[in-house]
Structure 1
């Protein structure tokens, strides 16, 4: 019995990776540092911003990233996020997401989000996309001491909603989501339309695989034959 579905945000509910890449680029431009390749930025999606910028700056500069520079990069990213990503949000929602979430909620499944974004931008993106009302909990990376793939985000949601891991499923597009689910004792759905490839996702051992959000809903609330 599935009582709780926990969703990743970027690449799972909202097709934001392209806009995120543009926002990283704007931050690098403002820093005066050469932009990394788009693929390099995409590879960091799903990590906390501090970790992502540290890795990218280290690769661009050929040395360990300075903490002050990383902090400034994160500040710039958040500023540009509000002007680049949020205005696009209504058009970035993946097909079937709003309808699927409504159906799950009607079927009595509690819904939550566990994201590597900080809570404020995650909440703002969900609100701008018209999806915030569906979720009982939104947990950002700044609300836990150990973000995904550590199980803490999932455990916080389970504790707040009073649901055991055996009755919960994590839905995500990266191995970070799937590994978090496994560590928390939850089942998982890997979506193949996001950041990580099907081959990458398979290594993390998802319970189910979904090529569309309609497939996600079918796994969580199967239609009787």
Structure 2
């Protein structure tokens, strides 16, 4: 029986949110846009880049300023975050992923990152080889919280939703899982707080990657 665990990237596998906030701030500075406080930026993590920039700037996603921000972000992110990638991997992730693979689970990533930066971050962190499939926000018409990303992963792996689980640190991940008919594991060490995560009704709530591994095994 094919069994699959799908992981979010930022705030779930890698503690990249702090680098993301720095990257956003650098983009605003380089484009001479008004300074935005860290909590406002942090609140958009988990959204696709166009949606995040549009929300912060109070405009629509198709505005030229949003396009400029997204393009500059892609290059700036690689300069700021990628050199630190191995230091940002959460405790227990390396061994935990290997353990799940040894147990026969197919592993995948569904992220709100564009695929180029997602692949680059996973490679820089030494994690890319653990995953059979990686799906980025620019590979679907409706990114998270829409279920399309998760369903694309399942199609590529040939796995039924009832044999899959989504692991993530935001309500966007949990709502994607609900829409795709999958179980879900919410982690409390990422972006969204416990109360916010519980409001999305995850199947499990865990506070460490060791807890993730145990919960994934319960899904089997």
Question: TM-score, normalised to structure 2's length?
Answer: 0.96
Residues 1:51 and 2:51 aligned together = yes
Match of 1:25 in 2: 25
Match of 2:37 in 1: 37
Question: What is the SS of the residue equivalent to 2:64?
Answer: helix
**Aligned-residue offset at 1:83:** 0.5
Match of 2:168 in 1: 172
Unmatched runs of 5 consecutive residues or more in structure 1 = none
**Aligned with residue 127 of structure 2, among 117, 131, 137:** 131
**Aligned with residue 149 of structure 1, among 142, 145, 151:** 145
Distance (whole Å) between structure 2 residues aligned to residue 38 and residue 193 of structure 1? 18
**Aligned-residue offset at 1:35:** 2.0
Correspondences of 1:1-12 after superposition (within 5 Å): 3-12=3-12
| CA RMSD, 1 decimal | 1.3
Distance (whole Å) between structure 2 residues aligned to residue 11 and residue 35 of structure 1? 24
Counterpart contact for 2:23–2:77, Cα < 8 Å: yes
Unmatched runs of 5 consecutive residues or more in structure 2 = none
Question: What is the SS of the residue equivalent to 2:121?
Answer: helix
Question: What is the SS of the residue equivalent to 2:155?
Answer: helix
Please list every run of at least 4 consecutive aligned residues from structure 1 whose deviation after the TM superposition is greater than 4 angstroms. Answer: 63-66
Counterpart contact for 2:2–2:159, Cα < 8 Å: no
- Aligned positions, number: 218
Distance (whole Å) between structure 2 residues aligned to residue 64 and residue 100 of structure 1? 40
The superposition leaves residues 28-83 of structure 1 with CA deviations (integer Å, 9 ceiling, x where unpaired) of 0011012211011111001010010011112xxxx667711111111111111110
Counterpart contact for 2:107–2:131, Cα < 8 Å: yes
Residues 1:100 and 2:96 aligned together = yes
Counterpart contact for 1:86–1:128, Cα < 8 Å: yes
Residues 1:205 and 2:205 aligned together = no
Question: What is the SS of the residue equivalent to 2:201?
Answer: coil
**Aligned-residue offset at 1:23:** 0.1
Correspondences of 1:184-199 after superposition (within 5 Å): 184-199=180-195
Match of 2:65 in 1: 69
Counterpart contact for 1:57–1:65, Cα < 8 Å: no
Distance (whole Å) between structure 1 residues aligned to residue 179 and residue 109 of structure 2? 17
Distance (whole Å) between structure 1 residues aligned to residue 113 and residue 61 of structure 2? 21
Distance change >3 Å, CA 2–CA 177, structure 1 → 2: farther
